[in-house]
Amino acid sequence: MYKDIFRTWYPNQSNVVDVSFDFIASLPTAGNVLIRPGTTLVKIENDSKIYAVTPNGYLREITTNEIGEALYGKHWEKMQ
């Protein structure tokens, strides 16, 4: 799951560096890292609905094919 979130923000891991736990612990926390809005759609297990991610991290159901196509193009259902 975390790799999937990372990939919505960065194309690869070429600039990733290893840091110590102490360094991480010294950083202030600012909240959860969310999926980058507009990069992927979310499908929840046991739920037939498809959701878009808003800039605030909220999930909004895409209720019709027409809405999906207008927002994400003809093959919008493959973005999940």
- C-alpha 26/C-alpha 4 separation (Å) is 26
Q: Which domain holds residue 30?
A: 2-79
Task: Please give the share of the chain, as a percent, with pLDDT higher than 70.
Answer: 98
By C-alpha distance, which of 31, 66, 63 is closest to 50? 63
Q: Is the pLDDT of residue 1 over 70?
A: no
The tens digit of pLDDT for each residue in 31-68 reads 777 888 888 888 888 888 999 988 888 889 999 999 99
Q: How many domains does the chain have?
A: 1
Q: Is the pLDDT of residue 29 over 90?
A: no
